[in-house]
Amino acid sequence: MPAQLLSLPFVVSALVCLYFAWEVDEGYAIYMVPFVVLLAIIYVFSPQINWWWYTRNTPKLDPRLTILLQQRMPFYQQLTLEAKKQFRDRIFLYMHANEFTPQGTDSVPEDIKLVIAASAVQLTFGQEDFLLAPFEKIIIYPKPFPSPQYPRHFHASEIYEEDGVILFSAEQLMLGFMQPNQYYNIALHEYAKVFRVNYPEKDYPKLPEDIWEKLEQISHFSRKAVTEWINLEVLPPYPVSVSHFFIFPQAFQAHLPEVYERYVKVFGQDPLRAA
């Protein structure tokens, strides 16, 4: 961590003063004070220091994660080389800025973090702010789970707006990313809701009355299938339409051309055209 490296010379200096105070004259102890104060300041502001450094010197994404993007994410594949670097940098920063909490396991695997971060970055790639604060807590369950909001439903995903929490089932999350033509993408689904919370002023389209019929024509996922996949009784069409906009852009443009153009303006990007 950059903050830890920054603090190293002050730690050494404080230890030198302590040594002289112990071995030579206890009066040297007073010289420790400024170093201890500086260390306290660095500790308090370490998140800001680290973020400042990483935004200007973003480390490379793990090569294994880059390969996963290249092999499994059509959106990433069609970007220019410059845009791909920006995409990877944003993924690293998103993973660094957010808290990933496992439930029922010891840790969250890096590939699951990647899938979540890549979905958030994909949806916000046309925006300056890609972190979507205050949704900074991401909880991962191995399989569908109940929650305080939905205690009677073992479901695949949800957001809890009051605490800025996003919850995912790893099983459905990974299937939707790895096999998007066979399984619905719950990551884009939830981030579509988060995006609207963060950008309520944008000109979102009014979806047509036959929206579910159109969405099934676009993806071949019926309303019933998507509802059962997430397993919540109320399933609004908006996040489903956004997920399809990014996953099936050609079919979406063909079946919902007006909604497609409005989403291009809302999200500041066109999935059919490389950035």
DSSP 28: G
CA 51, distance to chain mean position in Å, is 16
* Calpha distance 114→112 (Å, rounded): 5
Whole-prediction pTM value? 0.85
Q: At how many degrees (to 10) do helices 46-56 and 32-44 cross?
A: 70
Q: E strands along 112-195, which residues?
A: 137-141, 157-160, 165-169
* pLDDT number for residue 58: 78
* pLDDT number for residue 112: 97
* pLDDT number for residue 205: 95
Q: Are strands 165-169 and 99-102 parallel, antiparallel or unpaired?
A: unpaired
* pLDDT number for residue 98: 94
Q: Which residues contact 214 (CB under 8 A, 6 or more apart)?
A: 208, 255, 256
* pLDDT number for residue 129: 87
| Max CA distance (Å), the chain | 85
Would you tell me how many other CB atoms lie within 10 Å of the CB of residue 146?
12
What average pLDDT values come out for the chain (275 residues) when binned by 10 residues?
61 62 67 63 58 70 94 94 95 94 94 97 94 95 94 94 96 96 96 96 96 97 95 92 97 97 96 79
* pLDDT number for residue 59: 86
Q: Which helix (H) or strand (E) is 159 found in, with range?
A: strand 157-160
